[in-house]
Amino acid sequence: MINLATVGTGWITESFIEAAKLSEKYKLTGVYSRTAEKAQKLADTYGAENIFTDIEEMAKSPEIEVVYIASPNSVHFEQALTFLKNKKHVICEKPIFSNTAELEEAYRTADENGVYLFEAIRNIHTPNFRILKEKLPLAGKIRSTILPYVQYSSRYDLVLQGEEPNIFSTKYSGGALVDLGVYPLYVAAGLFGEPKKVTYHPVVLQTGVDGSGTLVLEYDEFICTILCSKISHSVSPCEIHGEKGTFVLENAAPISEIKFYDSHTKEREIFSVPQKDKDMVYECINIAEILKTKNQIEYEKLKELSKIVLRITEEARKQNNIIFAVEK
Ligand SMILES: NC(=O)c1ccc[n+]([C@@H]2O[C@H](COP(=O)([O-])OP(=O)(O)OC[C@H]3O[C@@H](n4cnc5c(N)ncnc54)[C@H](OP(=O)(O)O)[C@@H]3O)[C@@H](O)[C@H]2O)c1
């Protein structure tokens, strides 16, 4: 069992704790909140022995091996660095950090301290993503791809009322691309690698971040279009069009269904397998395995994906003068 502690008390932290429990690889030993009452409530619900309201103190606890961070995006870096410097592995929620400079510094710190740093991104660890990767050659030469993650956020209602919730704020490194676009971006980077050119066409809100946008990734022989939005809703699936066939994914995350249409026979095949509702369990299992076996090859693959995704979102923001507060 790996001794786990958590930062943040939102619903996603509870989801992660439940997935970690389901994986049977972790023991929850501590929880952090800025307020003792919230930490105690979470600790009582999930049976953690220690509560913390001080990150430095938590980072020094000998009972913690890995820390899961689910605070607002702009806070990830400072918190992660504190844990890495104290030789704790870190699993940090997506988007891992605000920019690539932070990412490089954090990986350097992890290496210097002999620990690992992971971005918590649920879709690429799932059985269905693996199946998609394996079956992709059936589509033949890829000619176009469209990957939407377009989901109306109730927090946009607050923006319309003049408020600035964290995820719509430059102060907390928010916006549609870094919040939702990262899921299809991980699919694209995981399947096709780094694009040779990136162009982003956002709808920038009065808060300064992108409420929605169209991201164009240019690969050698095709374009991958990613649609992301927190201010509108889509019911369109993801599609990967090849000369021999088309893959249709119900969503970029979770990848619950994968259909393949053969261009010539017109036959349809379903490749996906049923996945656990708590699909974070797969990232919990994979990360635990890497930690246990010190699997440097798999770790480097994940690092490379995080780097590609963050390079793209940073470039996309720069093109449109979307600057986070930590960059000012
Ligand atoms: N993987 C997924 O499916 C998924 C889903 C949702 C969110 N996320 C990611 O999880 C992270 C948290 O998202 P969220 O919507 O829960 O964010 P949030 O509500 O803004 O904040 C999460 C927690 O961080 C703490 N916090 C709030 N403001 C803070 C501040 N200014 N400084 C330090 N800590 C603060 C709070 O815990 P305390 O008050 O207890 O300290 C809060 O519960 C984000 O990075 C998001 O992208 C991932």
Q: How far is the CA of 225 from the centre of ligand 1 (A)?
A: 28
CATH number at residue 80: 3.40.50.720
Q: Which of 120, 138, 163 is the last residue of a domain?
A: 120
Q: Is residue 263 part of a domain?
A: yes
Q: Which structural domain, as residue segments, surrounds residue 92?
A: 2-120
| CB of 125 shorter than 6 A to ligand 1 | no
Tokens of 195: 């694009």
Residue 138 and residue 258 in one domain: yes
Residue 50 and residue 130 in one domain: no
| CB of 278 shorter than 6 A to ligand 1 | no
Burial class (CB in 10 A: 0-12, 13-18, 19+), 54: exposed
Q: How far is the CA of 69 from the centre of ligand 1 (A)?
A: 8
Residue 39 and residue 82 in one domain: yes
**What is residue 70's predicted lDDT score, i.e. its pLDDT?**
98
**What is residue 324's predicted lDDT score, i.e. its pLDDT?**
98
CA-closest candidate to residue 310, choices 182, 195, 159: 182
Tokens 């102060």 found at: 171
Instruction: Write out pLDDT tens, residues 155-173.
Output: 999 999 999 999 999 999 9
Q: Is residue 286 part of a domain?
A: no
Number of domains, the chain: 2
CA-closest candidate to residue 82, choices 101, 58, 63, 98: 58
Q: What element of type H or E holds 103?
A: helix 100-112
Residue 85 and residue 179 in one domain: no
First-to-last alpha carbon distance for the chain, in angstroms, is 42
Q: How far is the CA of 277 from the centre of ligand 1 (A)?
A: 21
Average pLDDT over residues 105-121: 98
Please, what is the average pLDDT of the chain? 98
Residue 128 and residue 116 in one domain: no
pTM: 0.97
Residue 231 and residue 104 in one domain: no
